[in-house]
């Protein structure tokens, strides 16, 4: 049995606790939070789980093997490093940290103590996203031209991070997974409407090699909840809509071709084709359950998590580049230059 402690049971923490309680290989041992009322609620749901307002009772408990952290981003580095230094494997929610330096410190600490550090990029464990990856790798879509992402809703407003760090982190992790590469540069424009110091609407552009581009639109001020990703290829196009209950992926046999040769302007015509629509079957399984099961697997067999510390670090690199771009009025920021800055 892997004995687990969870720090933070506010918005997302209860989902983590619920999944760990339901896992046969796990003993959900202890939960820490500053909100006593929330702790009492957890205790009512799961009477065998201990609760405390002092997180140190978890990170220093010799009977706890691993710690899950679901607290505000600015606390991630401190809590994760303290848990790792006390010999605990760590699962930390996204984004992994608030800056590259903190993320690097977490990775180095896990490496030093030979412990698992896994980041909660839940959508990388989503069956529909895994199916997208399978489709792209098969070559069905052809060469990828661009990816367009929309992650919009009304709220939940964060106080310590802006809408890019909160929402775009999901799409950044998915885009990097799908393309298996990091962007060369990032450009982002964001505006603040509710809290003057926190951007609540933003558009972020990632530029990759081979003329590939990704657009990510995020908002806490949209009347409709939108979770959509469009992948346009040279052969076919794919739309992933996570709001749909069942038919989450649609593959469109649509495209445009330029004639190989033409002698006059009158002979020049783009060739459009419109074919069938394919809706593949997607397994209906909770992504968080898959993610946390993978964390337990990695603890038991010592394998590297899919979303390990380095995976989380590369997302933070893009997020910090976007933040710097916003601060400078939307200029392009080279991702590698951020490491030059820290090193």
Pair (97, 68) in one structural domain: yes
Percent of the chain surpassing pLDDT 90: 88
| Residue 88: predicted pLDDT | 98
Residue 340 confidence (pLDDT): 54
Question: Are 39 and 117 contained in the same domain?
Answer: yes
Per-residue model confidence (pLDDT) at position 284: 87
Kindly state the average pLDDT of the residues 296-309: 98
Given a cut of 90, whether residue 339 has pLDDT beyond it is no
> pLDDT per residue over 177-233, tens digit each?
999 999 999 999 999 999 999 999 999 999 999 999 999 999 999 999 999 999 999
Residue pointed to by tokens 């110091």: 197
- Region 76-102: mean pLDDT is 98
Residue 206 pairs with which residues in a beta bridge?
186, 214
Same domain, yes or no: 233 and 325: yes
In a domain, 298, yes or no: yes
Q: Which of 116-120, 214-218, 239-243, 262-266 has the lowest mean pLDDT?
A: 262-266
The pLDDT assigned to 219 comes to 98
Question: How much of the chain, in percent, has pLDDT values that exceed 70?
Answer: 93
Query: The CATH number of the domain where 146 resides is what?
Result: 3.30.360.10
pLDDT band at residue 276 under the 50/70/90 scheme:
confident
Binned at pLDDT 50, 70 and 90, residue 274 comes out as confident
Helices of type H across 141-189: 163, 169-179
Residues 6+ apart with CB under 8 A from 87: 113, 115
| Residue 39 within any structural domain of the chain | yes
Mark whether 226 and 303 lie in a shared domain: no
Query: Residue 342 — pLDDT band, cuts 50, 70, 90?
Result: very low
The pLDDT-based confidence of 275 (bands split at 50, 70, 90) is confident
Total domain count, the chain = 2
Q: Do residues 187 and 279 both lie within one domain?
A: yes
Residues 249 and 132 in one domain: yes
Angle between helical axes of 76-85 and 100-113 (0-180°, round to 10): 10
Q: What is the DSSP secondary-structure string of 41-109?
A: HHHHH-TTSEEES-THHHHT-TT--EEEE-S-GGGHHHHHHHHHHTT-EEEEESSS-SSHHHHHHHHHH
Q: Is residue 339 part of a domain?
A: no
Model confidence at 261, in pLDDT bands (50, 70, 90)?
low
Q: Which domain range does residue 323 map to?
A: 124-286+319-333
336 pLDDT band, cuts 50/70/90, is confident
Q: Does residue 325 sit in the same domain as residue 182?
A: yes
Q: Do 7 and 128 reside in the same domain of the chain?
A: no
Are residues 138 and 15 located together in one domain of the fold? no
Q: Which phi and psi (to 5°) does residue 244 adopt?
A: -65, 135
User: Would residue 170 count as lying in a domain?
Assistant: yes
Q: Which residue has the tokens 């445009």?
A: 256
The answer to the question of residue 340 being in a domain is no
CA 215 to chain centre: 15
Whether 293 and 282 share a structural domain: no
Both 180 and 327 in one domain: the answer is yes
Domain assignment present for 68: yes
Residue 213 burial by Cβ neighbours in a 10 Å radius (0-12, 13-18, 19+): middle
Looking at the structure, tell me whether residues 240 and 295 fall in a common domain: no
The pLDDT value given to residue 258 = 63
Across 164-175, average pLDDT: 98
Tens digit of each residue's pLDDT (9 = 90 or more) over 59-70: 999 999 999 999
Instruction: Give the pLDDT band (50/70/90) at residue 262.
Output: low
Confidence of residue 269 (pLDDT cuts 50, 70, 90): low
pLDDT of residue 343: 44
Mean pLDDT over each residue of the chain, to the nearest integer? 94
Sorting pLDDT into bands at 50, 70 and 90, what band is 316? very high
pLDDT digits (tens, 9 = 90+) for 3-28: 999 999 999 999 999 999 999 999 99
pTM: 0.93
Q: State mean pLDDT over 34-50.
A: 97
What the block records as the tokens of 246 is: 């069942």
Structure tokens, 216: 């990510």
**Which CATH number fits the domain that encloses residue 11?**
3.40.50.720
In this prediction, residue 239 has a pLDDT band, given cuts at 50, 70 and 90, of: very high
């Amino acid at each position: 049995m892997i004995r687990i402690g969870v720090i933070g049971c506010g918005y997302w923490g209860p989902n983590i606790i619920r999944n760990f309680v339901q896992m046969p290989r796990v003993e959900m041992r202890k939960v820490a939070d500053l909100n006593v009322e929330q702790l009492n609620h957890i205790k009512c749901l799961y009477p065998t789980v201990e609760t405390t307002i002092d997180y140190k009772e978890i990170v220093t408990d010799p009977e706890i093997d691993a710690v899950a952290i679901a607290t505000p981003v600015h606390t991630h580095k401190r809590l994760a490093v303290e848990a790792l230094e006390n010999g605990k494997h760590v699962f930390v929610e996204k984004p992994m940290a608030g800056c590259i330096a903190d993320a690097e410190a977490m990775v180095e600490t896990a490496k030093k103590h030979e412990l698992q550090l896994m980041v909660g990029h839940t959508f990388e464990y989503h069956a529909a996203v895994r199916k997208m990856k399978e489709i792209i790798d098969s070559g069905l879509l052809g060469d990828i031209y661009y990816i367009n992402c929309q992650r919009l809703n009304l709220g939940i407003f964060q106080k310590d991070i802006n809408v890019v760090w909160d929402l775009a982190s999901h799409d950044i992790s998915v885009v990097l997974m799908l393309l298996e590469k990091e962007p060369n540069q990032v450009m982002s424009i964001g505006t603040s409407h509710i809290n003057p110091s926190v951007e609540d609407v933003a558009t972020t552009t990632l530029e990759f090699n081979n003329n590939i581009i990704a657009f990510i639109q995020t908002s806490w001020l949209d009347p409709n909840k939108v979770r959509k990703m469009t992948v346009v290829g040279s052969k076919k196009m794919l739309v992933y809509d996570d709001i749909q209950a069942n038919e989450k992926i649609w593959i469109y046999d649509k495209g445009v071709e330029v004639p190989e040769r033409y002698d006059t302007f009158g002979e020049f015509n783009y060739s459009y084709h419109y074919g069938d629509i394919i809706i593949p079957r997607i397994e209906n399984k909770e992504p968080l359950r898959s993610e946390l099961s993978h964390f337990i697997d990695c603890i038991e067999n010592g394998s590297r998590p899919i979303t390990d510390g380095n995976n989380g670090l590369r997302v933070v690199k893009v997020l910090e580049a976007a933040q710097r771009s916003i601060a400078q009025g939307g200029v392009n920021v080279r991702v590698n230059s951020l490491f030059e800055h820290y090193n």
